[in-house]
Amino acid sequence: MTTRLSTQVLTIVWVFLLAAQALAQSAASFSVSGAVSQPLTLTANDLAEMPRATVTMNNNGIETKYEGVWLSEILKKAGLRFGEGLRGAALATYVLASASDGYQVVFSLGELDPAMTDQQFLVADKADGKPLFGENGAFRLVIPKDKRGARSVRMLSKIEVVQVRK
């Protein structure tokens, strides 16, 4: 009888933990702000409604398949122009990606434009088919063609667009 009760309690705790993880993932968000016409706060549910992409990364022989939305698509939703519309003063714009632990990385707007380079940047919310969570945070900026992962921002919390002025 004790073993059966222990199994039931463990099952209830397991279900509770899975529900708590799902709730935390759905509540998590990151912002897009700065020199944009449409500031955004996006959740995993918002990303699920946008065009999805996947990339496979290899880190020390371990492959991880990330799923999410191209950063350029998110920036377009915030009102930025790419392609022929990205010229002149707009090329003096940078994007600051920040993590909730204070880690920050800078990218020029030109290097994020798929019409200028074949380098793509993915805002991932899933790894190997499962939502990101825990010490990785709910969102991660993944740069598939980088040789090192130093510019990959885990725990992504904020994307700020900054126009350089003279």
End-to-end CA separation in angstroms for the chain: 76
Phi-psi bin for 88: left (phi > 0), alpha (psi -120 to 50), beta?
A: left
| Integer Cα distance of 146 and 149 in angstroms | 7
CB-based contacts of 88, cutoff 8 Å, min separation 6:
none
pLDDT digits (tens, 9 = 90+) for 15-41: 555 554 554 445 799 999 999 999 999
What are φ and ψ of residue 145, in 5° steps? -95, 0
| N residues, the chain | 166
pLDDT surpassing 50 at residue 96:
yes
pLDDT digits (tens, 9 = 90+) for 80-91: 989 888 888 888
Domains identified in the chain and CATH numbers: 29-163 (3.90.420.10)
Q: Could you tell me where the DSSP H helices lie in 1-154? A: 2-27, 44-48, 71-77, 109-112
pLDDT surpassing 70 at residue 100:
yes
What pLDDT, on a 0 to 100 scale, did the predictor assign at position 9? 65
| Integer Cα distance of 143 and 141 in angstroms | 7
pTM > 0.75: yes or no: yes
Token readout for 62 is 């371990």
